Homo-oligomer: A and B are copies of this chain.
Amino acid sequence: MNTQAVADRLVQLCREGKNMEAIEELYADDVVSTEADGAADPVTHGKEAVAKKSSDWLANVQEFHGGGVSDPIVAGDYFSCRMDFDVTFKERERMQMEEICVFRVSGGKITFEQFFYNLPG
């Protein structure tokens, strides 16, 4: 799959709430995932660790009120989209989050992702 096809598939799966399936299907074994500057453990290496980061995040959600993913913008091996969530975490307040996401595709798989957002303050 080229960058556009991977981007479209990622967006489709995330819109269906199939975030874990997206990682399983689309991510390279050696993917590198980078959170916002200042985040704890900002860089995660490897598909297994990235999947655990996502499943840990999902396990902390008490209620998912809504969210969305924009259509992707594609440029060469990279694509970008906006993701937003409205969630109540366990033992924490309800929170609206929005982020710019950048992905790199190589050999038909996502090998790099980086997220840009303000840390909750």
Contacts and interface: CB of A to CB of B under 8 A. Distances in A.
Interface of A: 70, 73-84, 98-100, 102, 104, 116-118
Nearest to A99: B75
B82 A73 contact: yes
Contacts of A73: 70, 73, 80-82, 100
State the copy count for this chain: 2
Given A70-B73, A75-B82, 17 more contacts: A75-B83, A75-B84, A75-B99, A75-B100, A75-B117, A76-B98, A76-B99, A76-B117, A77-B118, A78-B116, A78-B117, A79-B100, A80-B80, A80-B82, A80-B102, A100-B102, A102-B116
A105 to B, nearest CB: 11
A26 B70 CA distance: 25
Contacts of A79: 100
Contact of A78 (B70, B100, B104): B100
